[in-house]
Structure 1
């Protein structure tokens, strides 16, 4: 049952409101007219499911990145993105369930629900999504500084600067969202329920100032400027920075063999390239869903300025698909981190199953020893090697038995914003004796390793970047 225009007019006049057609509208749907079926499927079935999955996966990301040994400027920004994406989905979740899943659109909406729906379904998701967009831009700028201007990274790529950038982004998002609170005003009206004619209650109608001829031009300009500031501008910056980072990664890959002579330096460069590649993929997925949204907002704003209804049906349909695509992109970051970041995988595995990490750490000295033996057995000149330093660590080989007494740590912090686990123990003093014979490959495989204090605990790790 749908209320007729005459019945609507009589109800409005009884409430002291003169005209519904010119100044007021039912919020957000005309009573008794539910949205199309595709709208119900996307917003009432698919969206709640994606929001639940995204919340779980982003919570796991937050738990991993909050560990002390993973605190760095890059990881702080990744943590902020995960948090903003989660909040962008959580706040409209109740509205999706109430309106679309249970189809509570076949009657008037209660007056008390008007502002709740407006704030939770439209304003707050916009604020948090804006924060997510600009924190992604900050992340790309930080990686650009680190790759292209590494000398300035110590000053700009710090945790304090990352927190300041996040605070500025929050302030920017709040300022941009202020007109959304002033875009309309809600008013109560006493109506008779469409489902139960004996029941009356206060329904919600809204005065939409963006449709008022006195303010329509102002709000159209605001829509275009908002699209430029929130969508087009960030996407343009990200496309440029992404192109630069991809070019630098290709150049680094071509020149790594020539520039990096030592294995440790080569591993270090490879690690930073992997981090950059991971962030480039994150930004690329972001651009795939945000660029079409930016074009949609620009076209919509221009049509409002021209007061044209051209493509209105297509734009209403496409915006639902674009919003769902944005929501669908939120859980993807978790799988990117798991696939491309060993530090993230190790930290995540340690949370779920610490015994696996402990077993891997117990096997680390044996792997390091095989690397040492491979290096020295390939050279006939290494019959006697002795290196003295302060910690007096010894490797002694007698009758194919090796005893290693390492120093207390095997972790080296090369820079403030990155750290690496050395593939070999710290050998401050090495003494190898062969009893007149050289080790054969078979004898090398039979060697036994005895370590004192050889375990690496998570408290000693400092893997600042994923």
Structure 2
């Protein structure tokens, strides 16, 4: 979620304001731009987002969505963790579920305190609380959201290899290799976001608020950012993010989704021909299972693209506008700020959808879920069901080799 590309807002009657300050020297007008410019001002959370959207979405919808997302993704992890469900593809799906869940879990404590408990209209202090806001509501969620994006790319690449290059899949798409790839994705996602954890410094500053002298957090760029100059540091960071986290992955996923769709259609035509041969019914059944798996993953990737592409495009326009290219009038630029909150909210709302997709499109997932949570058999297959589970969990194969890789 790219909250760090949103400009700060002019104050209104619902946002906390400074009185004529007699406690210290401070500029009461906040004008912080995420793409550059030296700052020496206070952290005013009430100016960060338009409150007519932030309060209902972050204050009231997010707590409910946290519960729903946590429950849904915990169930996904529990089901995919079962021994008979473990496979290279399911390992990626499980990592995606964890990433999506943590993207919601980390910012929620600060959102709950600020918006649900209506503390956004109060100065945030001490500096430790300001650092907590800085890390939890933005940078840590961005680590896991970035990992989720790259995991989605890995999922699509893996399925493309299984479907179209089966000999390579037997070497590249083994479970140990996939686990290593997942680990490196999380490492690189952390490295990519690491500078943002150290580019701001918060210190106490005394100001007058409601007739009293209170302390707030003064924020300024770290010394190393000032040495580089923000006008160099922020464009490098954001353009890297646009290329390698937004537009690049979305472009790759669109291409791979189309290739998988065409491969699935070709397999369907081949299956129709095989249905005419009574000796090929087993092969037809395996082709059907492979197509179901491919279709399910196409749907998962498509849901991801529907939520990510608008944010990717608007982020590019926002950065270009911040660099001096006037794409927006002042009025439309305010509308852009609303779009960021709506777009980020759609991304969060999409997280529980994968559970519905798995239940709706995977018989094995439904059966394992039923065994694990309803029948109380710990997810282990019954003896009479062992054929069903073993058939769906054979070695990696593709439509060209007339079978399918193990997947939910």
> Which TM-score tier does this pair reach, normalised by the shorter chain?
0.7 to 0.9
Shift of residue 269, structure 1, vs aligned partner: 1.0
TM-score by length of 2: 0.82
User: Aligned partners of 1:410, 1:302: CA distance in 2, in Å?
Assistant: 52
After TM superposition, list the pairs within 5 Å mapping 1:137-216 onto structure 2: 137-194=153-210, 197=211, 200-208=213-221, 214-216=229-231
TM-score by length of 1: 0.72
Q: Partner residue of 2:395?
A: 416
The answer for unaligned runs of 5 or more in structure 1 is: 369-408, 420-462
Shift of residue 353, structure 1, vs aligned partner: 2.7
Q: Check if 1:79 corresponds to 2:94.
A: yes
Contact 2:87 / 2:175 at 8 angstroms: preserved in 1?
yes
User: Aligned partners of 1:273, 1:192: CA distance in 2, in Å?
Assistant: 66
Q: Partner residue of 1:40?
A: 55
Contact 1:64 / 1:347 at 8 angstroms: preserved in 2?
yes
Q: Per the alignment, in what secondary structure is the counterpart of residue 164 of structure 1? A: helix
Shift of residue 349, structure 1, vs aligned partner: 0.4
Shift of residue 218, structure 1, vs aligned partner: 3.2
Q: Partner residue of 2:345?
A: 324
User: Aligned partners of 1:313, 1:206: CA distance in 2, in Å?
Assistant: 24
Q: Partner residue of 1:439?
A: none
Q: Partner residue of 2:407?
A: 465
Q: Partner residue of 2:296?
A: 278
User: Aligned partners of 1:11, 1:95: CA distance in 2, in Å?
Assistant: 28
User: Aligned partners of 1:171, 1:82: CA distance in 2, in Å?
Assistant: 17
**Structure with max Cα Rg:** 1
User: Aligned partners of 1:243, 1:34: CA distance in 2, in Å?
Assistant: 37
> CA 1:411–1:50 in 2, change beyond 3 Å: closer, same or farther?
closer
Q: Per the alignment, in what secondary structure is the counterpart of residue 11 of structure 1? A: coil
Q: Partner residue of 1:353?
A: 374
Shift of residue 190, structure 1, vs aligned partner: 2.6
Q: Per the alignment, in what secondary structure is the counterpart of residue 23 of structure 2? A: helix
Q: Check if 1:94 corresponds to 2:109.
A: yes
After TM superposition, list the pairs within 5 Å mapping 1:5-154 onto structure 2: 6-7=20-21, 10-13=22-25, 23-29=39-45, 35-111=50-126, 112-154=128-170
> CA 1:410–1:64 in 2, change beyond 3 Å: closer, same or farther?
closer
Q: Per the alignment, in what secondary structure is the counterpart of residue 24 of structure 2? A: helix
Which has the higher mean CA deviation after the structures are superposed, 207-216 or 76-85?
207-216
> CA 1:93–1:314 in 2, change beyond 3 Å: closer, same or farther?
same
Higher relative CO (Cα under 8 Å, sequence separation at least 6) belongs to 2
User: Aligned partners of 1:63, 1:240: CA distance in 2, in Å?
Assistant: 32
User: Aligned partners of 1:242, 1:66: CA distance in 2, in Å?
Assistant: 26
1:364-383 Cα deviation digits (max 9, x unpaired): 79xx9xxxxxxxxxxxxxxx
Q: Partner residue of 1:381?
A: none
Shift of residue 464, structure 1, vs aligned partner: 3.8
User: Aligned partners of 2:378, 2:227: CA distance in 1, in Å?
Assistant: 63
Shift of residue 259, structure 1, vs aligned partner: 4.6
Higher share of residues assigned helix: 2
Q: Per the alignment, in what secondary structure is the counterpart of residue 204 of structure 1? A: strand
User: Aligned partners of 1:283, 1:212: CA distance in 2, in Å?
Assistant: 41
User: Aligned partners of 1:412, 1:156: CA distance in 2, in Å?
Assistant: 22
Task: State the superposition RMSD in angstroms.
Answer: 3.3
Contact 1:26 / 1:204 at 8 angstroms: preserved in 2?
yes
1:290-329 Cα deviation digits (max 9, x unpaired): 0001011111111111175744201110000000000000
Q: Per the alignment, in what secondary structure is the counterpart of residue 45 of structure 2? A: coil
Q: Per the alignment, in what secondary structure is the counterpart of residue 106 of structure 1? A: coil
Contact 1:290 / 1:326 at 8 angstroms: preserved in 2?
yes
Shift of residue 12, structure 1, vs aligned partner: 3.4
Q: Check if 1:299 corresponds to 2:314.
A: no
Contact 1:54 / 1:330 at 8 angstroms: preserved in 2?
yes
The answer for unaligned runs of 5 or more in structure 2 is: 1-12, 32-37, 399-404
Shift of residue 37, structure 1, vs aligned partner: 1.6
